[in-house]
A and B are shown apart, each in its own frame.
Chain A
Amino acid sequence: MAHILLRHREIPDINKLNVYKKNGGFAAFKNAVTKMKSTEVIDVVKNSGLRGRGGAGFPTGMKWSFIDNKNWPHYVVANADESEPGTFKDREIMEGNPFQFLEGVALASYAVGANVAYVYLRGEFWELGAALDEKIAEMEEAGYLGDKLFGTNYSLRIYTHLGAGAYICGEETALLESLEGKRGQPRVRPPFPPAVGLYGKPTIINNVETFANVPMILANGAEWYKTMGTADSPGVKIFSLSGRVRKPGNYELPLGATFRELIYKHGGGVQDSHTVKAIMPAGASSSLILVDDDKVLDTPMDYANVRTLKADLGSASIIVIDDTVSMDWLINKTVHFFKHESCGKCTPCREGTYWMSHLTERIHGGHGSKADVDLLLNVAKQMQGKCLCALGEFSTMAVVTGIERFRNDFDNAVKA
């Protein structure tokens, strides 16, 4: 099947404006601005069943319909802060098929009545930011951005904004704080951004991949989109496959493809013909899925089915762990990551990740005892449900499921 998002795999020059245009580019945006009411655009996205691709899987059209129309101006923000260990899909979209992403931002802006949109990129995407600035300038030149577009009264400008190295800024309210020139610390929610967002104004924030879907949905219709994927999770998803596989990379597949198909058919199987021991489907934030029978690998990858394995699909960053890996090493890695990235605002996360890192270090270093493993599990469970944002919660997922589902690895680590 031809790609819908990673279209540059078939059309390598689609990152050039004239090539994108020749392949139907900007027709959906022009049609929306000149012929559709903004609410009609929202309805199409709603009917398509598109769910947010950043991790939470929230229905996109519904989010857009929450925009507060009593408070103006409105803003649209693209979350391009891609930082979850194991996720590298947004970068490929923006490098390979940038105009489709930007057209999606433009369509969302029209749908919610925003005249300004920001693309918040992680600071490490420095070169990509410069490239997007050029693409935006080309769109202005060609009349797809600017004042009074297509002879209507609608105006839109898109600006890029670089972060500076902080995983927490992928959390939408921390991102807004950062974009406002402050430390990237999450806000207390509610109110949610569609009511109180950037500069206190109603704001819609979506992930890059979510935006990239929108022009195709508007061009081909909601019914077309629903012919792909599952009833619960329509459409396609880019699965970032990494870890101990032969061919890591991004694979665009219909939602509902199985782990086996991704890992063995596309990813070429496990390195050195080892067996899969565990899967992290949502990057470092994942629960560890224990792969102890074939049924697990045959599970369809969509939001509902992954939940039956007591894990979440999240951003679909599939990290494959083979039988050479011990979980005490693995959680030592993830806990150090979250400790480094904790923003310090709330006590359970700031202190919890700190103390967990001491314990994982001790256990992995061979100086731990059985009591340390129990204490680690206890600290992780104490944190759950008490953190201000999802980061603290996520930091406990691999710890709790690692100890509960792979207890042997920890017994061996403290025995040695």
Chain B
Amino acid sequence: MSLAKKHPKEVKQILSKYPPEGKRSAVMPLLFLAQREEGYISKAAMRDIADILDITETDVAAVVGFYTLYHDKKEGRYRIQVCTDLPCALRGADKFMDDLCANLGIKAGETTPDGAVTLEAVTCLAACDKAPMFQTQGPDGIKYHESMTVDKTMELIRTLKNAVGEMK
């Protein structure tokens, strides 16, 4: 089913923010809406958005490819995105990341075998005073988790894995 049919209210509300000559501005919020469904943006969804906005599929795909919060491949239903940039690294973020990898038995960029969680290193998330920190990106949007420990994170991951199990 098309995005406009599935979420008529949201699509209309998104389009209402921009002037008619700036309709294309809606591409980013529409992509977030499409991604909410499955955690990634399918080719069909890109076509759909191109149709709504009277732009080409290539225009839409170029936006998907440019921004790091959009994903065009199916990976973990939740992404744990740890900031390992300079200010966080000065407060132990690299070690935190290594410990998480060891606990999960995966490397940065990989997904747990059950498909629940993808672990990623990302650039600055504007929470430098609360390192180690990460964001989760999943069906419920993006959430910050600050001043974290490995134990607290593993507990959160168990909760996320259970949630994904229930979705199946």
Contact = CB atoms under 8 A, between A and B. Distances in A.
A interface SS class: mixed
B18 to A, nearest CB: 8
A341 interface: yes
Contacts of B89: 333
A319 B126 contact: no
A284 interface: yes
B116 interface: no
B129 A319 contact: no
Contacts of A337: 85-86, 123-124
A179 B85 contact: no
B142 A126 contact: yes
Given A124-B142, A180-B22, A181-B25, A164 B69 contact: yes
A20 interface: no
Contacts of B63: 181-183
A85 B87 contact: yes
A126 B28 CA distance: 13
Nearest to B60: A181
Residue with the greatest number of chain B CB neighbours at <10 A, chosen from A166, A178, A182, A184 = A182
Contacts of B128: 85-88, 240, 242-243, 248, 317, 319
A85 B123 contact: yes
Interface string B113-133: 000000000111111110000
B24 A180 contact: yes
Contacts of A241: 129
Interface residues of B, number: 41
A125 B142 CA distance: 8
Given A242-B90, A337-B123, A127 B25 contact: no
B22 A199 contact: yes
B28 A167 contact: no
Contact of A164 (B59, B68, B87, B124): B68
A199 B19 contact: yes
Given A165-B69, A181-B63, A250-B129, A333 B85 contact: yes
Contacts, number: 143
Nearest to B35: A164
A53 interface: no
Contacts of B123: 83, 85, 167, 337, 340-341
Interface string A387-407: 000000000000000000000
A84 B90 contact: no
A162 interface: yes
B24 A181 contact: yes
A290 to B, nearest CB: 17
B159 to A, nearest CB: 18
A198 B19 CA distance: 11
A387 to B, nearest CB: 18
A178 B87 contact: no
A90 B127 CA distance: 11
Contacts of A85: 85-87, 123-124, 128
B139 interface: no
Please provide the 5 A-B residue pairs with the shortest distance between their CB atoms, ordered closest to farther: A164-B67, A165-B68, A181-B24, A248-B129, A126-B142
26 contacts: A82-B126, A84-B124, A86-B128, A88-B127, A88-B129, A123-B67, A127-B141, A127-B143, A130-B141, A159-B17, A162-B29, A163-B67, A164-B28, A164-B32, A181-B22, A181-B25, A181-B59, A182-B24, A240-B129, A248-B128, A319-B87, A337-B86, A337-B123, A337-B124, A340-B123, A341-B123
